[in-house]
């Protein structure tokens, strides 16, 4: 995954958490309001529970994104290791060819 893509994923996660945080803050303010009456308590409790459920869903989405990011990072690391091995192999072959050419040049 490219750096720009990581930045986008992190930004999306931050925005999602900001939205949930703002919603929870609004609910918290509502609960602290002097207008909060006992006959509205059940409705506020339900709203609070729904907000927490949405937060939980957002958090699960975040965890999934982190899991995918971890997997993509592992895949990228594995790919880099394979390419590194190929480059080292090519360097070794070039070094052997260079040595062989140098030896052949000394014979003439």
pLDDT tens track, the chain, 108 positions? 666 677 788 888 888 888 888 888 887 777 776 665 555 667 778 888 899 999 999 999 989 999 988 899 889 999 999 999 999 999 999 999 999 888 887 776
Count of domains observed in the chain: 1
For the four alpha carbons of 94, 99, 105 and 108, in that order, the dihedral sign comes to negative
Taking the C-alpha atoms of residue 33 and residue 45, their distance in angstroms, rounded to an integer, is 14
Residue ranges making up the domain that contains 10:
3-107
Report pTM.
0.47
The count of other CB atoms within 10 Å of the CB of residue 27 is: 17
> Contact, 51 vs 27, CB < 8 A?
yes
Nearest to 59 by CA among 29, 20, 98: 20
């Amino acid at each position: 995954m490219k750096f720009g893509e990581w930045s986008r994923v992190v930004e999306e996660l931050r925005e999602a958490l900001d939205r949930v945080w703002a919603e929870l803050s609004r609910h918290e303010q509502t609960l602290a309001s002097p207008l909060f009456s006992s006959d509205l308590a059940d409705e506020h409790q339900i709203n609070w529970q729904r907000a927490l459920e949405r937060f939980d869903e957002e958090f699960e989405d975040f965890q999934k994104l982190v899991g995918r990011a971890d997997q993509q990072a592992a895949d990228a690391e594995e790919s880099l290791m394979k390419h590194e091995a190929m480059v080292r192999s090519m360097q070794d072959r070039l070094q052997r060819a260079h040595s062989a050419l140098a030896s052949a040049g000394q014979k003439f």
